[in-house]
C-alpha cells in the first residue's frame, strides 16, 4: 500500500469513528472508479471498519482494529 493510500484509509477510518455512517453514504463519499485507489476496500480488508445491521439499515462502524490503527497514528487517545 502506498503512503497516499495509507493516509486516505486513515482519513476514512477517522471519519467513520466520529459516528457510525450509513453504508450508502460511505460508498457515495469513498468509492472511486480508479482501480489504484481502493480506499473503502482497503479499510474493510484490513479490518478497520465493518458493516453492521441497524434499525436504520446497514451502518459502517470502526472495529477494535480500526481504533488501534487510529491510536497508533495519533488520531484518537
CATH of the domain at 59: 1.10.10.10
Sheet arrangement for strand 57-62: 21-22, 57-62, 49-54
13 lies in which domain range?
3-72
In a domain, 77, yes or no: no
Does 33 reside within a domain? yes
Q: Would you state the cell numbers that stand for residue 34, as one nine-digit string? A: 480508479
Say what the pLDDT of residue 28 is. Answer: 87
Helices (H) and strands (E) in the chain, counts: 4, 3
The count of domains in the chain is 1
* pLDDT averaged per 10 residues, the chain (length 77): 79 95 90 77 95 92 96 87
Query: Alpha-carbon distance 59 to 57, whole Å?
Result: 6
Amino acid at each position: 500500500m502506498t503512503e497516499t493510500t495509507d493516509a486516505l484509509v486513515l482519513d476514512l477510518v477517522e471519519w467513520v469513528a466520529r459516528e457510525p455512517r450509513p453504508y450508502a453514504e460511505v460508498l457515495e463519499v469513498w468509492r472511486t472508479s480508479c482501480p489504484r485507489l481502493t480506499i473503502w476496500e482497503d479499510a474493510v480488508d484490513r479490518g478497520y471498519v465493518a458493516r453492521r445491521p441497524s434499525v436504520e439499515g446497514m451502518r459502517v462502524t470502526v472495529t477494535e482494529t480500526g481504533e488501534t490503527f487510529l491510536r497508533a497514528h495519533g488520531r484518537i487517545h
